[in-house]
Every structure is written in structure tokens, then in C-alpha cells.
Amino acid sequence: MRTIDQLSDELGGLAGRTVLVRSDLNVPLDGQEITDDGRVRASVPTITRLAREGARVVVCAHLGRPKGTPEAKYSLAPVATRLDELLDDDITVSFVEETVGDRATAAVQALADGDVLVLENLRFNPGETAKTDEERADFAQALAALADAFVSDGFGVVHRAQASVYDVPRLLPHAAGGLVVSEVEVMRALREDPRRPYAVILGGAKVSDKLGVIESLITVADRLLIGGGMVFTFLKAQGHEVGTSLLEEDQVDTVKGYLETAAERGVEIVLPTDVVVADAFSADAAHEVVPADAMPADRMGLDIGPDSEELFVGRLADAQTIFWNGPMGAFEMEPFAGGTRAVAQALVDRTSEGALTVVGGGDSAAAVRDFGHTDDDFSHISTGGGASLEYLEGKDLPGLSVLED
């Protein structure tokens, strides 16, 4: 991938150049309040660097899933405000309530060297997420017309063939931003040459969301620790009752195959020995700890139990490389947060001992921040849950392959 240094050399410097930066600013909001600004913080270094080199920085990003038309609740205005707070005081940040069009063009033309402009949500335009190159072409060309060069710095979207991710860099001199470069370096270390023992922790709701990564990591990892809602399909595959827990019945045979493959390859699959069950999906629900192989038929599992916490922490104690994607339970509700909290602390402890610890974005990243941990407590917190999983699966990521040109 071409770097910003190489792009600068190609253009004879960036001062006075308008650089369109595709950032990932898809943050969770409570009304107009950002509840986790991790992705905004991650965008700061590349934006700062470009501004310091005298570029006129135009930031584009998406927020939420609008259907190709403006929706006030998905406006990037509060994100632009937070970016302004995080950037140095001498960097001017403005926002325009349009992505392409006369107002956007005028706002770009009004920039001085070193200024930053945030465009409105890309997905307010149907061309951003259209399925074919032809459908995206007009929007991509309108975006490209705003700038002299393009920098891809949104790792969380590089697995999408979307206009701002895939089509625009085909129209402009382009480079990978610092965030994308660092994410790829970490993911490559996980996939190609991990220090051992290598432990992977997978959680979240569904096995089907992680089929590819499980199949891939069985050939690389030494241990797979399974928690979250997906664990109940594993327990069912072993013949256990799982009550009213999340269950993908159509994946039971697939999971049986994974268990057999792991046994053949000498890869340890670590499943919980006890489970916190409740009679409803509620923080106020009556709950208790039961053995994982003796779940009541009328209860749902919402977290791994205390014995499982000790088991998981113990199986991480000597790991030199750890990748974690997906919570161990419904961590948003305190009665069911113990497993996720224990895993987070185990990674913090291993980081202090020199292990490579990677939190794979998404709910895992949100959880560790909810628990009061900082990014520095881990080797790396990825900004792209889906992108990181697809990279580890070995898939071609359009937003990365286009940067290799």
C-alpha cells in the first residue's frame, strides 16, 4: 500500500493540496451524545498530520444506516464537534450539511491551508452503498472532484466496496492513512506469524457471524475460547440442553465439524463449565449459576459463570498472542458482565507481561471502555470488528486491494 509519505513525494508535497480523507466516525450515539469516541480519537493522528503539512483536509465518513436520504439522527454534526475538541486549538474545523453539491464545493473552496472540513454523512447519498460500480460512479466522481488526493484511514469500512472506500481511490492519487497501516500490520501479525501460545477468544451472539474466522483460525491458533451467545450452539453440538438460550440449530452440524477438526489438529477448544442463566433477558431477572451441561430447559444463558471465568483466565495466563472478538455475555447488564470483565482484565494483565493483545473492535472495544480501561491497557484496539474478522479469514478486502495500485 502506498503511504502518505509516498503520496506527498508523488505530489511534490501536500501544502495547498486538498486531501479527501475517508475516516471511520461511525460512533454510538445516545441522542446527540457520543457514548464512545474511540473511533474519533483514532482518526486524529492522520488528520493532524495532513493539516500540519499544510493540506486542506476534507473528512468524509458515515454514521449509522440511513437509507440513502438525510435523517437528522444520523447527522455527523456532533462528531464534527467532538473532532474539533480533540484536534489542536490552532487547527480550524468546520462542518457542512452536505456531502456533495454547491454548499459542499463552496465549503471546500473556502478552506485555508491546514484547515479541516467534515462533510455530512456519506450514506445520505444512495450512490455511496449502491451495489454496482455503475450505480456508484456519479457519486464517486462528485466526491473525487472535491479533492486533489485521497487518503484511506477508515479501517472499519475497508471490507466494503463502497463509493468512498473503493471507487474514489481509483479516481485520485491515493494512500493508506496511518490508522489503516497500523491495523494491517497488527492483523498480519495475528494471521501470519503469531508468537505462541496463540489464544483466540470469540463471543457475541451468533456462530454464523464468525464461521469463516473460526475455520481459518483453527489452522493458526493454539486455543479457541468460546463464550457469548454463540457458545450455546457449541454446547448443543456436544449434546447438552441449552434451554431458551440463543441457538442456531442449523449450525450445529457445522460446529460438530469444527470440534472434530480442532481435535485432529491438536487445537484446544475451551468452553464454559458453568453458565449464568436467567428467566428473562433483563437486568432485573432472577438468575443463578448452573453447570454448563445441566441448564434448565426454561432458562436462558446470559454469561459464562465464575468457574468458567477462572478457567478462561487460566488458559490465557501464558498466551503470548491474544485476539478477542465478542463479549462473553450480555455485559450491558451488570448481573451478566462478569465474564466479559474477567476476560478484559486478563488481557490487561497479559499486556503488562509483554504479550500482544488485540481487541477486535465492535462490542469488545465498547466493553473494555465501559469497564474503565484505556486504549493503552492493550497492545491494540481495532476500529474495525467486521474488517478485522474478514482480514483474519483471508478474504480480499476491496478497500485495501485498491490501495495496492
Q: Are 226 and 199 in contact (CB under 8 A)?
A: no
Residue 328, C-alpha cell as written in the block? 462473553
> Known binding site for ATP: residues?
210, 301, 332, 361-364
> Known binding site: residues?
24-26, 39, 62-65, 123, 160, 210, 301, 332, 361-364
Residue 290 DSSP SS3 = strand
Residue 272, C-alpha cell as written in the block? 464454559
Q: Quick one: residue 380, left, alpha or beta (phi over 0 = left, psi -120 to 50 = alpha)?
A: beta
| Separation CA 302–CA 365 (nearest Å) | 19
DSSP 85-124: HHS-TTS-EEEES-SSSHHHHHHHHTPPTT-EEEE--GGG
- Cα–Cα nearest to 116, from 177, 52, 43, 59: 59
Report the catalytic residues: 39, 206, 362, 386
| Separation CA 324–CA 328 (nearest Å) | 10
| Separation CA 137–CA 127 (nearest Å) | 8
CA separation, residue 387 to residues 158, 168, 400 (Å)? 6, 19, 10
- Report residue 263: phi and psi, to 5°: -65, -40
DSSP 403: G
Q: How many CB atoms lie within 10 A of CB 68?
A: 12
> Known binding site for substrate: residues?
24-26, 39, 62-65, 123, 160
